[in-house]
C-alpha cells in the first residue's frame, strides 16, 4: 500500500506541477522541458489556464494507456518507469563529460547542500554527528526523511 501511495503522489505531482512549473522554467529535471511556444498552443503570446489544463490533460492521457479515465497501479508504475528512464537519459547526457555513455564516480553530480547539511547537524563542531545531534536534526525535519520523500522515519 505504501508503494501505491508513493506512485500516486508521483503521478499527481507531475500533473499538478506540469502547468505552473512548465510556465516558469520548463520544469527542468522533473520532466520534459517545454518552451513557452509549446505551451502557448494557439500562438497568442500568452499562456491561458485552458492551455495549462490541456497540457495537464495530455499528461494524464499519456499515463492512462487503456483510456478508461483512471490510473491503475500498473499504469502509474509504467509511467513512473518511463519518466525514470527519461530522467536517467537526461542525467547521462548532462554529466557524461567523456562521452563514453556511462557515468564514472567522478562524473556523478554532487549534492549541492550535503556539506552544509552535515555542518548544521554537527552542532558541536566535532566533525561527526552524535546520536543526539541526529535525533535533533530529525526532530527539526518533523520526523520526515530528508527532502520530504518517503514515509515517517521510525522513532525509537
pTM of the model: 0.49
Q: Give the pLDDT score at 7.
A: 56
Per-residue confidence (pLDDT) for residue 156, from 0 to 100: 38
Distance between CA atoms of residues 84 and 82, nearest Å? 5
pLDDT < 50: residue spans in the chain: 13-30, 147-156
The pLDDT value given to residue 27: 40
In this prediction, residue 95 carries a pLDDT of 94
With beta carbons less than 8 A apart as the criterion, state whether 144 and 153 touch. yes
Give a three-class secondary structure readout of the chain: CHHHHHHHHHHHHHHHHHHHHHHHHCCHHHCCCCCHHHHCCCCCCCCCHHHHHHHHHHHHHHHCCCCCCCCCHHHHHHHHHHHHHHHHHHHHHHHCCCCCCCCCCCCCCCCCCHHHHHHHHCCCCCCCCCHHHHHHHHHHCCCECHHHCCCECCCC
User: Residue 17: what pLDDT?
Assistant: 42
Q: What pLDDT is stored for residue 154 in this prediction?
A: 41
- Write down the pLDDT at residue 142: 74
Domain definitions of the chain by residue range: 2-95, 114-148
Question: CB atoms < 10 A from the CB of 21, how many?
Answer: 17
Amino acid at each position: 500500500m505504501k508503494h501505491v501511495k508513493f506512485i500516486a503522489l508521483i503521478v499527481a505531482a507531475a500533473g499538478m506541477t506540469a502547468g505552473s512549473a512548465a510556465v516558469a522554467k520548463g520544469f527542468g529535471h522533473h520532466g520534459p522541458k517545454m518552451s513557452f511556444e509549446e505551451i502557448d498552443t494557439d500562438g497568442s503570446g500568452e499562456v491561458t489556464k485552458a492551455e495549462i489544463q490541456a497540457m495537464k490533460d495530455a499528461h494524464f492521457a499519456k499515463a492512462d494507456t487503456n483510456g478508461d479515465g483512471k490510473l491503475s497501479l500498473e499504469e502509474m508504475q509504467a509511467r513512473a518507469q518511463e519518466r525514470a528512464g527519461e530522467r536517467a537519459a537526461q542525467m547521462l547526457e548532462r554529466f557524461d563529460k567523456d562521452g563514453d555513455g556511462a557515468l564514472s564516480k567522478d562524473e556523478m553530480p554532487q549534492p549541492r547542500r550535503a556539506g552544509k547539511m552535515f555542518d548544521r547537524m554537527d552542532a558541536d563542531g566535532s566533525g561527526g554527528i552524535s546520536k543526539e545531534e541526529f535525533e535533533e536534526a530529525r526532530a527539526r525535519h518533523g520526523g520526515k526523511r530528508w527532502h520530504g520523500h518517503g514515509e515517517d522515519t521510525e522513532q525509537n
